[in-house]
Amino acid sequence: MLKSEPRSKLKHGGATTAKDIVKQVNATLAGWVNYFRVGNYSRAFSEVRDYTEMKIRTLLTRRKRSQKR
C-alpha cells in the first residue's frame, strides 16, 4: 500500500512537470513517514525510498529520451 501511492502519482503524471510530481510524491511519503514514525520501520522506509527513487529516475530518463526525438 505504501508503494501504491507514489506509483499512481508517477503513472498518472502525464504532462505534469517532474518538479511537481516530486513535490506530490514527497508530500505523500512525508505523511506516511509521520504516521508510521512511532515504531522502527527503517527497513520498510528504505525499501519505499529506493523504489520511489528508481521510479522517478525511470520517469525522468523516459522524458529525456522522448524530448530528444
Phi, psi of 34 (to 5 degrees): -65, -35
The answer to whether 25 touches 6, Cβ cutoff 8 Å, is yes
Strands (E) located in 1-69: none
In a domain, residue 13? The reply is no
3 in a domain, yes or no? no
pLDDT tens for each residue of 8-56: 766 766 677 888 888 888 888 888 777 777 766 777 778 888 988 898 8
Q: Residue 32 domain-assigned? A: yes
The pTM score is 0.57
Q: What is the pLDDT at residue 3?
A: 62
Range of the domain at 61: 18-68
Residue 12 forms part of a structural domain: no
Residue 6 lies in a domain: no
Number of domains in the chain: 1
Q: Is residue 27 part of a domain?
A: yes
